[in-house]
């Protein structure tokens, strides 16, 4: 095969064989793992991730109360990727045609797909504040949770609500407080979902403080901007998510918006770069940063890379409101479909089903 050209026709005029152009994927979450999996048989794919495994992030909170759950939501990248190369590490900077790793090794690419996601930006220096990022971080604090009597959760968004629900449904001897800067929990959700979540948590004894911010930690208590002192044995930070954008600053700082998300066009290409695509939490698309939307974007990226090779028209990505499933412990939950909200056991069952389905798909690939 001629390795210097994009496509060669096979005997069947409808089948094309790609030359082994190099695709680099940054990030192995929902978007990155999908892109790598779909393209590895058509391109020379390299996946660069800070960890050597895929993690079903909607399921990580359960590991704080059930450490063994971690086995159900993690799978090595090398298990589901048969041909792609996996590099465990971080990207230092990128140009229009190469990626530089932290060890200064450069890797050339024909196509780059940025799926670097987001992480928690801790505004406090104290080491005992727990970032709700990876299952392993939570699993390792299980013994601390067993001993803790007073728990403070900073942030009443989806993660804060789900974490409080996991703990209060698993233990009945913990004093749990959520401090939330807004006037409503999960404020972007339907009013029915908001009220149901609040009623559920309060019924379980969770104290919710609205309209205050945690600003300073002093010994074993937190001080709020309203002068409130909140005593705690464990502190979970569930706010302050920021995109993982550092590698963009050297050459593409103008491609970042005010939230440090990457600005993309309707085809999910980095503005001004035909061969660089972006998917997942890191994009500037105005939609909920969910696993479902990350995969929707990844599908468009895959189609467009293949379209470029085929010299076909690119496909546009359209943001839309997608269903959100919120866990309230193992046996309760909320399904928010916009105008329709379902509460109770069925949404909890649905979330478990989605987790099993996604992980089985990877394990059987």
Q: What is the pLDDT of residues 260-279, one digit of tens each?
A: 999 999 999 999 999 999 99
* Per-residue pLDDT tens over the stretch 228-271: 999 899 999 998 788 999 999 999 999 999 999 999 999 999 99
Q: How far is CA 76 from CA 28, 281, 291, 325, in A?
A: 10, 22, 18, 26
How far is the C-alpha of 294 from the C-alpha of 283, rounded, in Å? 9
**Residues 133 and 218 occupy one common structural domain:** yes
Please tell me the predicted confidence (pLDDT) of residue 221: 82
- Percent of the chain past pLDDT 90, that is, above it, reads 79
- The CATH number of the domain holding residue 143 is 3.50.50.60
Please tell me the predicted confidence (pLDDT) of residue 216: 86
Residue where a domain stops, chosen among 213, 239, 265: 239
Residue where a domain stops, chosen among 190, 221, 239: 239
**Residues 107 and 205 occupy one common structural domain:** no
Q: Provide the pLDDT confidence category of residue 125 given band limits of 50, 70 and 90.
A: low
Is 55 contained in some domain? no
Please tell me the predicted confidence (pLDDT) of residue 201: 98
**Residues 230 and 265 occupy one common structural domain:** no
Q: Coil, strand or helix: which one is 174?
A: coil
Kindly give the residue spans of alpha helices, DSSP state H, lying in the chain: 30-39, 70-73, 77-80, 135-139, 142-147, 158-170, 191-203, 249-252, 291-309, 345-363
Residue among 66, 104, 101, 71 at smallest CA distance from 87: 101
Please tell me the predicted confidence (pLDDT) of residue 14: 42
Mean pLDDT of 307-336: 94
pLDDT greater than 90 at residue 304: yes
Which domain does 116 fall in, by range?
Answer: 7-50+89-120+241-319
How far is the C-alpha of 365 from the C-alpha of 357, rounded, in Å? 12
How far is the C-alpha of 81 from the C-alpha of 72, rounded, in Å? 18
**Residues 23 and 170 occupy one common structural domain:** no
Please tell me the predicted confidence (pLDDT) of residue 280: 96
> Of 9-23, 255-269, 343-357, which gets the smallest average pLDDT?
9-23
- Report whether 80 contacts 363 (CB < 8 A): yes
**Residues 30 and 179 occupy one common structural domain:** no
* Per-residue pLDDT tens over the stretch 44-63: 999 999 999 999 999 999 99
Pairing of β 111-114 and β 221-224: unpaired
pLDDT greater than 80 at residue 8: no
Q: Provide the pLDDT confidence category of residue 321 given band limits of 50, 70 and 90.
A: confident
Mean pLDDT of 122-133: 69
Is 156 contained in some domain? yes
For residue 82, with 0-12 CB atoms within 10 Å meaning exposed, 13-18 middle and 19 or more buried, which class applies?
exposed
Mean pLDDT of 303-326: 94
Please count the structural domains in the chain: 2
Positive or negative: CA dihedral 128, 133, 137, 138: positive
Mean pLDDT of 22-34: 97
Is 203 contained in some domain? yes
Mean pLDDT of 304-311: 96
Mean pLDDT of 297-302: 98
Question: Taking CA 223 as the corner, what is the angle to CA 158 and CA 211, rounded to the nearest 5 degrees?
Answer: 45
Q: What is the largest CA-CA distance in the chain?
A: 76
* Per-residue pLDDT tens over the stretch 199-221: 999 999 999 999 999 888 887 78
**Residues 257 and 208 occupy one common structural domain:** no
pLDDT greater than 90 at residue 30: yes
Please tell me the predicted confidence (pLDDT) of residue 5: 39
Instruction: Give strand pairing partners of 82.
Output: none
**Residues 205 and 280 occupy one common structural domain:** no
- Report whether 329 contacts 172 (CB < 8 A): no
Please, what's the b/e burial string for 207-246 (b: 16 or more CB within 10 A of its CB; e: otherwise)? ebbeeeebeebeeeebebeeeeebebbbbbbbbebebbbe
**Residues 245 and 299 occupy one common structural domain:** yes
Radius of gyration over every alpha carbon of the chain, rounded to an integer in angstroms? 22
Mean pLDDT rounded to a whole number for the chain: 91
pLDDT greater than 70 at residue 2: no
């Amino acid at each position: 095969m001629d390795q210097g050209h994009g496509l060669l026709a096979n005997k069947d005029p409808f089948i094309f064989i790609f030359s082994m152009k190099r695709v680099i994927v940054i990030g192995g979450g929902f978007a990155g793992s999908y892109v790598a999996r779909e393209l590895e048989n058509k391109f020379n794919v390299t996946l660069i991730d800070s960890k050597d495994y895929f993690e079903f992030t909607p399921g990580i909170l359960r590991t704080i109360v059930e450490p063994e759950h971690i086995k159900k939501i993690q799978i090595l990248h090398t298990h589901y990727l048969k041909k792609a190369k996996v590099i465990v590490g971080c990207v230092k900077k990128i140009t229009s045609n190469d990626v530089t790793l932290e060890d200064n090794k450069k890797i050339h690419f024909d196509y780059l797909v940025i799926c670097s996601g987001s992480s928690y930006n801790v505004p406090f220096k104290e080491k005992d504040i727990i970032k709700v990022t990876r299952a392993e971080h939570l699993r390792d604090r299980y013994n601390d949770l067993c001993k803790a009597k007073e728990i403070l959760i900073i942030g009443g968004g989806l993660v804060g609500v789900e974490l409080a629900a996991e703990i209060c449904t698993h233990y009945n001897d913990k004093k749990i407080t959520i401090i939330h800067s807004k006037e409503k929990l999960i404020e972007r959700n339907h009013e029915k979902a908001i009220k149901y979540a609040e009623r559920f948590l309060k019924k379980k004894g969770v104290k919710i403080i609205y309209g205050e911010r945690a600003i300073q930690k002093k010994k074993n208590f937190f001080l709020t901007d309203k002068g409130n002192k909140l005593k705690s044995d464990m502190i979970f930070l569930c706010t302050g998510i920021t995109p993982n954008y550092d590698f963009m600053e050297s050459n593409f700082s103008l491609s970042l918006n005010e939230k440090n998300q990457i600005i993309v066009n309707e085809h999910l290409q980095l503005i001004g770069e035909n061969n660089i695509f972006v998917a997942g939490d890191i994009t500037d698309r105005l939609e909920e940063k969910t696993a479902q939307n990350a995969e929707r974007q990844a599908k468009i990226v895959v189609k467009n890379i293949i379209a470029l090779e085929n010299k076909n028209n690119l496909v546009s990505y359209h943001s839309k409101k997608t269903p959100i499933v919120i866990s309230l412990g193992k046996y309760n939950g909320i399904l928010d479909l916009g105008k329709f909200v379902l509460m109770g056991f069925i949404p909890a069952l649905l979330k478990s089903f989605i987790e099993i389905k996604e992980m089985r798909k990877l394990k059987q690939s």
